Amino acid sequence: MLKINNLSKSFNKETDHEIQLFKNFNLEIQKNKCTAIIGSNGCGKSTLLNMIAGSIILDDGEIMLEDKNIGRLTEEKRSVHIGRVYQNPSMGVSPSLTILENMSLADKKSERFTLKRLVKKNRIPEYIKLLKELDLGLENQLNTQVKYLSGGQRQSLSLVMATMKLPDLLLLDEHTAALDPKTSFVVMEKTKEVIERHNITTIMISHNMKDAIDYSDRIVMLDKGKVILDKDSKDITEAELMEIYRMRISRDIAS
């Protein structure tokens, strides 16, 4: 489904501070499954997600999505096939626009830009249906500007917008990290429901070991651009993941 072949990426090239984060990196993401990418700061998980999305350009290699090499496409062209929910609750929405206008923008994602009216009235029943599935009452606030929503409501709206066109791939970029624990739980539950309802192939970055296990099918741990663990989520515990973390941190301190 998603195959990353021989991917390489360096920063500060040809300087004394050059860092080669990935070298001949390979990873395959299973279709209709949720894969959690975890690891300490600097391990490469955010860079990897940004290279898949197209916001960071790879140096070499291929990113194959449904047998098409998207590695050299612009971020805009990739967004037709890839949905994304960001860590910042305001990044996936337009705060100054209403819920209805945001939904309409997401609905026009794969269309060419025109000066036609943004909102198509015949699509409103579909927007209401999608929002009702969240069970947060957003379908009753269509004319409310998004800036007046809570962080959890904005992330839930971002999730619906990112999945409205049923993308080939959904990227969750630590999308509950900025939320309080109670709200984070609600958003994770809504995320699970949406992913399972539509069978969307998903990559989720998380610092929360419990969430990574509870809400994914597979755990991939990175360390300095390399895969050091790749297991089904049901086959590993939170305690085991934390022990691996502690060992890595101790090693880094010692070196």
Please state whether 132 falls in left (phi above 0), alpha (psi between -120 and 50) or beta. Answer: alpha
pLDDT recorded at residue 39:
92
pLDDT recorded at residue 115:
47
Q: What is the DSSP string of 201-253?
A: -EEEE-S-HHHHHHT-SEEEEEETTEEEEEEEGGG--HHHHHHHHHHHHHHHH
Q: Which CATH architecture best describes the domain 2-254?
A: 3-Layer(aba) Sandwich (3.40)
Q: Which residues of the chain have a pLDDT value below 70?
A: 110-116, 253-255
pLDDT recorded at residue 26:
98
Q: Report which of 255, 211, 103, 228 is spatially closest to residue 165, judged by C-alpha positions.
A: 103
Question: Would you state the structure tokens that stand for residue 207, as one six-digit string?
Answer: 């610092």
pLDDT recorded at residue 42:
87
Q: Domain segments of the chain: what residues?
A: 2-254
